[in-house]
Each structure stands twice: as C-alpha cells, then as structure tokens.
Structure 1
C-alpha cells in the first residue's frame, strides 16, 4: 500500500513538474511561429473573400495606398484564390479593382508578429502571470491537493486562451498548436468542478466523489475525441459539457458557502469570485461575444488580457489577505518570480532570434532548440531563483520582509513609549505583525518575583533578558508560516530588544518619578489640609475669645461704669473724690472701647450679623478715619453675601484687612477703591490704590524671599478656600489685589 502511494506521488509530481514548462514553452513557440510566418497587413471581409475591409494603420498596405473596398484580382499574375503564402520581406505586385478602375500596387509582405505585436505581448504577459502565480503556489505547497488543482487551472487557462488572444486577424495555427489549445480549453471546466468538490470543504463521501470524477473524465475523453477529430456533434457536445460542469461547480460552491463555510473561507471565496467576475465580464461581453458573432467592433485583445489577469491576482490577494496556507512571504517572493520570469522570457527571445538568423528554418531543428532551451532553463532554474531571491532580499528589502522599515517603525514606537503597557504593545503586537511572527510575549515582574519556567515559552526561538532594576524577559517563537528564525532575524530582534531595554529603563525611571511626585502631592495635600484646619481652628479660637471678652470683661466694665456713675450722682462728695471717680470712669470707658476693638479684630460682629459687604464697609470706614486715606466703595448687596460659607467670608475679610494694612504702611496712597461682586456663585474682590507700587515676585517662595509675608499670607488663605489670588503692581503705578472665588472650588476640610 505504501509503495503504491509512493509511486502515485512520484508520477503526480513528475507530471506537475512537466506542466511547469507548458506555458513558457507555448509562449516561446507562439513568438517563434509569428516571427517566422509571413502575411499581408490588410484585412478581408471574411475568409475566402477578396474584398479588403481595412488595412493596418501605418503598415505596408497603408503606405502602398490600398484602401478599404479594394478588390484583389491577382497577386504576381496569379489569381487571388490560387495564390500561395507570401515570403517575408518580398514585394508582390497586387492587381486591385477600385471603383471600376484596375490598379497595380506593389506591396511588401510582413511578419505575422508585426500585425499582432500588442495582442501577442498582452496575451503572453497574461499567460506568464497565470503561470508564475500557479507555479509559486505549487512550489510553496507542492503536496497540497487544492494547490495542485489551482496550479492545473492556472496552467491550462493561459494554454487555452493564449493562441486565440494573440491574433487580431483570422488565422489557422498548425494542427499541433490547435490540439493543445482545444485540450486545455475543455479541461478547464472538469478541473474547476473537481476543485469545488473538495474545497473549501469535501462534499459527499469519498466513493461518491470518485464515481463522479470517473463519469466526468470518462465523458471528457469521448467529447475531446469528437471535437478534435471534427465530428459534427463535437463542438455542440463541448459547449453543453462545459456549461453543465460550470453550473454544477457554482452550485457546489454556493452550497459550501451557504451551509458549511467558515467566516474566513467565505470572505476568501467572495474576494476570489469578485475578481473572477470582474475579469470575465468585460472579456466575455466586449471581446468573446463580438468576435463569436463576427463583429469587427470589439475590445482589443491586449486590453482584454489585462482584464483577464484580475482572476489570478484576485486569488493571490485572497490567499495573502486571509493567510491561506500560511503564505506570508508572498509579496517578496512574487517580486522574485516576476524578475525570474522576465529573465527566462529574455533568455527565450535572444536564442530564438540568433538561431532563426543563422540556422535553417527547419521545424525539427526548431523543436530541438526549444527542447534544449527548456531543459537548460529547468536545470538552472533553482540557481537562477536563489540568486534572484538573494538580489531582492539584499538590494530591495534586506529580507522577505522590509527590515529597514521594521527597525525604523519599531524604534520610533519604542522612543515614544513611556509606560510598560506601551512597550508591551510594541513588542507583542507590532513586532509580530511586521516580522510575521507567530507569537511574542513580554514578561515584566518585580524584585520579589523571579522569572519561572512556567511563564516562559518552551518553544521560543529567541529570548532576551533585560538588564533592568526589575526582572523582564522577551520571548519570541518562529515565523507564522512555521519557518525558524534566521540569523538576520536574530540580529534584528537583538537590536529591537536593546532599544526596548532602554525604553523600559526610561519607563521604570518615569514610574519612580511619578511615585515620588505622588508622594510629594500627597504630602502637600496633607499640609494643605493641616493649614486649613489650623486657620479654621485659629478663627474658631478668635471667635471664642471675642465671645468670652464680650461676655465677661466687657460686661464687668459696663457694670463698673454704671456703678461709678451712680457714685458720682451722690451729694456731699469731696471734689478730689469726685475727680478721681471721673478719671476712673473715663479709664473704664477707654478700656471697654479697646476691648470692643479687640473683639472686632478677633471676629467682626457685622460679618456674622449682616454679611461680608457690611463688614467690609465698616472696616473701610474705620480704616479711612485712622489712616487718613480716602476710600471709594463698590460693594454688592448683603443679601447675596449672607449665603457664602463662613470660612470663605472670614478669609476674604482677612485679606481685605491685610491689604488695607499694607497700604497704610507702605503705599503712601491718596485713594483706595474696593470692589466686591457676586454673580452666579462667583465672587470677585479687588482692592486698588494709587500708591508707589512695587515689582511683585511670581511665586509664593518669591514673596517670602522678599519679606512680603503679608502678601504670602493672603495667597495662602485664598488657596486654602480654593480661590485665585493675584497682585498687579509696577513702581509708581499703584497696586491691585484681586481675589476670585467660585462656589464649586471650596475645600471642605
């Protein structure tokens, strides 16, 4: 059993390898045939007619003056219907009739290639693209059944349409070339049906598929024999047979797509079918159908060929995009095979031209030359391919993926990475995607957690231990198509790992700095909270002292003042005693006033009783009397300020106190303007003077460094209630102290 399978595989492989040479040989034979075949560059109404329908623009007939409508009577004194083929480059004497007048026209014969240069080049390129894509798929996955069937399709399709597409005139090829074309054409449908039977899923049982294949290929043999031998029923049988098989194939494909296809296979089928329809629609509508009905208006063959190559390109795209068969090196390899195909094409043309010029044009000799060149190319193909691959790898990309782009892109990404997660994304997502890696893991631990074996990848092909303060390891497996990492891959990964190590050290340093900043921020918040508590406690203590002074000493002094007054009203007091009592009463009143002023300084009674505006008004009037400086007030109504939190009103009041104190001590001002506004929970207070001014520092540290302790205290108070404080001043330009507070910024201690 094993021997039978081995023999079958050997025979299959040998046949597939032989088919690899079918298309290039057919292209070469076609070029050689058209190069060596003479013809006239004019077109007749139909085969057998002697009436000229048109001439080849710019050709020999056009230059000789032959026009459409001329009727050929004879050539070289031989009637046209008996005249044999021309000789290349020989001038023939044409006798033509034009509107009742007989003319003699000398006309030089040309090569058939000159008539078909565009369509021949287009069809040859189309055929070589089919051949190149099919050949590469076969070489990449030689024993894959679907790939073998696709390869067969991509060889017989160009073999079937190459010859018809490479002519723009009616012409009969040699019998051998016609037979090859017919066999290839009739094989397309059964191979396509065979492909849909097994892919994307296997339909039916193995025995059922085998029976269907026997029936298909058995019928194929009979129909092919009838078509090639020219039986009357042969052509109709071929059309019916091909139509039936294609219909069955699309039914099988639709069934697999609808009921058994996976999402990826469905997307792949959609892309391939879309490209197939895009290729076939203009080819069928604008080229095949018009030519089948004998119309002279149809799409040029070389343009039709360009549309037709969309079919293999669509399959190639779906193969690459959906990662079919793991072909991840397709773009690079395709470039290699394009260069290789161009080289082989040139190798064919140059020897053909040389041998055609210097040896006899004998068919047997030409076949020997073609066979020898084919064997030589097959023998040197691997050497040519490896050198072409090396050239593309080194000169274009540096490898099967774009090495410079990988290094540049990943280096830039690592340079922008400032966190562990960003570095992890670069190394585990971007690098595998760009280098076609199957998997990549970055493990980052801590000082107490070493790297253990269960966290590593046992199948890793590359491992890098980072030299950082904490343990970190980057592990990479093989390529996504199963190939091991090459020496160049290791060099690239080492370079990227070293840059990632620098990025990781920077990220860890940033983490340490962020930790320290968070500690400082926390300490500042604690300090700020403590300061708020201290100010609140101080204000509460002041309020308690003011109440105690008002309730005890001041009330006692009031009582003493009343008692002394009663004593002064008694009669019979000596003058000295009365004077002493009067002096005592005056001292009691003075002491009482001083205590009341102390109470007002400790906690202004109007601040709680009436509001901030009234308290500021009272403060400004009293200060103006004491300092002798005019004050202008613009204060909002107390009905608004009564809703303010007590912590806010007392700190605003203290700032006003400190600002007026500074003006009286340093400003030498003549006018002070105080504004207070409250709109939509936004309070703004400005205190402006026209004094000597100064140059205020920008920071709180600058205020204390220049002994502006009063200003620093103002700023601290406003910051603690969540407000904004600013001072604007210039020498000899006065000073403005501005306070802004919004209701949603208060700090609740």
Structure 2
C-alpha cells in the first residue's frame, strides 16, 4: 500500500475516533478508583491521589447509577468505577452517596494527553508538507502520528472506554515496530544501506491480532483477566521492541564502522538519543509497574520524553544538519547540564512556597520541564542572538558585514595600488577615522597609499622611525620580511576617541587577512616579472589551450604595455604637438607672411590638429581610461562616435539593463571593449556594410554582446580557428578573450549574407565603473 493511501485511510478513521474520545472526556469525569470483590462485596483498593473522589480505601460500593454494582459494565470489565454518574457507598456502616457530575471533567492528565496529541500531529503534518519527497521524513511523520494517537487515547482509556484501551495498547506495541521501519528506510535513503525489511510484515501482523484480542472481551466473561494478561504482554513487548531497536543499531554499527565512518558516527548519536528518549518511560514507569505494581513516575509525564528522539530527528532533517548530529547532541547535553542547577533552584523555591501541593511526582515533573525548557532556550540562544544581532548589537553587526565585504574584495586585488580603492577606503569608513595610509618600505625606496585627511609626510616619518606611539596616529605592522616592510597607519576616530574592543578585534582580523594578501601580491609581482621575461622566449605557436592562465597573463601584460604607450604618447608626443602648434601660431603673429605662405602655415596647423586628434583616438583605443570614469556603456558610445566620423557605414548601439552591465568587474569590461573594438576594425576593413547593429544586455548571472551587419559576409568554412594563442588577430583574437572569461560565442556568416556574432559571459561582480 502506498504511503499516501495509508495516510487517507488513517485520516478517515481518525476523525470519528477523535470525536468519540472527545465525547467520552466531556461526558465523564475521571474517578481513579479500583475495586476488589471480597465476600461478595466490592471494596475500594486504590484511590488516585490526584482526584478528590470522596472515597477512601476500604469503602464498600453498594450501587452505581442506582443499580446493583454487579451489573455495572466498568466494574465487570475493569474492576473500576469509571463512567459512573452516581455512587452509593458504605464506610464503617454509614452509607453515603457521591454524584460524579459535580467532578471536574477535564483533568491535568487529559490536558497533557491532548497537548501531546496536538503537538505530535502538528509535527507529523509539517513533515509531510515540508519534505514530501523524502521517504524517511514520511515514516518519521507516521511515527509522530502513532505517538499522537497514543496521547489521544489516554483520556478515553483511563475512563474505561473499550476503544480507548484497545487503541492505546495497540499503538504502544506498534511504536517500536514503526521505529524499526523508520531506521531501515532512513539508512537506505541517507547512507545507501540495503537492510533486510521483509520480517517487518510479521511484526506488523501482531498488532491487529492484539487489537482483535482486546475486542474479544466483549463476548467473554473473563474480560478483566484477559485485560491483565494482555497488559502483561503489551508492556514487555514494548520494552523488548525498544531493546531490539538498540541491538539493530549496534549491529549496523559493528558491520559498517570501518567501511562507512559517517554512518558509524550517526549511529552512535542515534543510539544515545534513543536511550535518552525511552529511558524515563521504561525505567521510571513500566518496569516499576511490572515489579512493584505502581509507577515511580506516572506514565502521563514520562511518556513525554519519547518525543525527544523524533523531535531531534525532525530538527536535523529540516535544518539539513543530519551529519552534525554529534555536534547537536553535545550542544544539547551541555545546555542540559547548565540547566540542572537553575532548575533545582526553581523547583526548590516552588516546594517552599507551596508545600501542601508539592508532592514528589509534581516536583519531579516540574524539574524535568524546567530542564527541558531552559535547555531549549540556551540551545536556541545562539540562533536568536544571530538573528537579532542587527537590532541588539548594531555596531558588531556592521563590523561583521564589513569584514565579509572586505574579505570578498581581497580576491580582486592584483596590485598594491588597488588597495586604496578596494580596502583602505572601507577600513576608514568602517572605523570612522579621519584618514589612513598603507606604507611599503623597501630597501631603497618607499611607497605610500593614503586616503582621507592625513599628512603624507608625517606618515612617512612615522613609518621610517622606530617610535610606536604617536599623539595623532596609530601604526600597525602588516608584513615584515627581508625584502620589504608594510605598515597600516590610521588617524584617531572622528569622535576623538580610541578604538573600542570590538573594533580592535575587527582590525586585528583585517590585518591578518591583509598580511596574507600583501604577501601573495608581492609574490605575484615577482612571478609576473619572471613570466614577462619568459614570455619573450616562448614562440606563439607553442602556446596551447591548456595554458589558460598564461593566456590571461599575456592579456594583462598586453594591457599594461598599452597603458604605458598611451601615457607616453599623451605625456610626450601630444605635448610636443601642442607646443609645436603654439610655436607656429606665434610665428604667424610675429612675421608677415604672404597669402600663399600663410595658407601653407594654416594648413600645417590644421594638419597638427588632425595628428593630435588621431593620437588622442589612438590613446583612447590603447587605454580606455573612461571605463573606470564613466562606465562601459558610455565608453562604447564614445568609441562609436569616434568610429562613425570616418566609417562608411551607420552604427546603431543599444544597451539593456545598464545596472547589471556596470556591476561587472573591470576585467570583463576591458575584454568586452576590446572585442567591440575588433568587431568594428574588421567591419571597416572587410565588411563593406551599410549598417551595423551592436547590443549589450545583462542579467544578474549573464552578460551578452550581440553584433550584426549587412556586409558581404564570408564563408565560415574557410576560416581556420587555430589554437588559442596562435594568433592575436581577427576571430581568434576575440575567441581568446571570450574564453579567458569562461564565456562562449556563436558566429554565423555566409557570402553575401552579412555576419552575426554573439558572445555570452558569466556575470562576475566587481568594482563598478
């Protein structure tokens, strides 16, 4: 039978049974009196101390509900007075009458039973809803359902209802079998263990047989004796079933402790939690009842401990901390140990304040509830502290968030100069100081990176001196080795106070992160210099796709060289042209030229402007500095404007979702700009197009570049795409850049069909332009 069909059947049966039990509890009060027939008289032999029935030990029961006591069904079946409305009794020869309609209908036991039922069924429903695809979760929900039905039957059972007694006995016997079935399904689903399970059908067959035996009491005169006999079987069966579960777990542990260590650790923790869950009910209620005829602790109270095991598993499955069960158990054990002393104090105070109502059982239950409640509070304290940290500890929360942000940014640093934009500014803002600086002291030189209101000359003197204390600055050593020493120097806070304890801890952690990053950057710089020397001796044909890291390095070196050339052109050649133009203009103003010479001089000045404009465009193409100032979209628009002046075709450029485009890292922007440059250069040289369409779009995870022209096109079969690195021109050049970003591209063209090109990159967030 499928699990869903079983659930529907149980629900259809559950509703009418629940209504019947509610009717029994609402109609009859629990009396709690046991009888024994002596000399044809029914004598009271037990009175539940929690119920004030008005009867004492030795009282003789004469009539029940105005009829002979020998005709009352509860007396015949169970030798109790349950469901009696009126009782006529005799004490020392004096008759008196008790009307049970005046008794309190709902007792503490009923409240505990209903609470346990509602709680168990609620958790069972949540498991079915949260994890419908997990078979182990479904069987765990059935275990909760079984416990819930047991709690549900308590109220009717103690009132002498036949269905209640039969159902509670059946559920009690069913519980260890359901638990064993859950273990088999659980270890198969979570650990891949194929354990035998066919024997379970024989164990499950015992349960309906027991239920039928209960109902045979109706047609027999030996109801009480069958009830006593089945009770003597039911409780030992439950104890034996729990014991067999422990043996089953021990067997799995012995068998798989070497081949599957995670499973062995899991089993040990399950074993411990299972003992903690069932020990109170078995050792303090069932075994004393068998041996001595009474409970040390009423089963109404000790049965609540059974919920510990399934609840712990529910938490582990729902929070996906199953393999952290050892940590969870140790934490809960620690919180329980911490709860023992305050719980003892609370119970002691209660016993002093209310001595008349403080019997041993109530005090014990109060102690257990206090321990459980305080343990849960202490266990969940970390979770609530973390959740409410933003409100309760705002400064600490901001420091932790800033730490995560800086730690993430450290991965973007590729040079010392980037420390200012990526790290130093965040440190100054977080600590709310006036300014800060990072100083690098080499053997022959010194390098200072500063931000904010700080005196660079004073910083250099402080870094060079051996004085650790300064009235306005605080120096922290980041790295110290033979090649260089690095310091972090900070001013006082804007509030003119020293750093607090939490801020100092945060700064020490940042310093440890920075020390590692700076050392790595230093090693990268040395390695880059060596690779630059090595690259000059490696032929282009020898570079294969396996050297992706080398390809990336080559692009970085190429960009570095382009920046150097662009700066040289701007600082030397363009400046020389500017002075040459001023010299020519000055000569024209100083001397009188004839019209022909004047025209030639004006032509020379115009030609200088053209050269200057071409050099400015070349500098822009070599070093697109605008990427960092105005962003990728505006930079490409600038490029399109420059190309449109001299191009024979029209260029249409569009962008979508600019926020995501500008949120990508600078490396992606630079490569994308170079690809656009190459597309436009190829279009000028070969396409003979009349219109070109460019589009850039982005989402949170993907960046797409689309290109289309209506030119002459080409046969893609004639284009040989050689290995990456074999060429840095044309399609191979673009492909190399795209693959260096873990992207892919599609190229479609044909003779007379124009060209379509699409490149897609995974989105990498970084510094926005």
For normalisation by structure 1, the TM-score amounts to 0.40
Structure number with greater Rg is 1
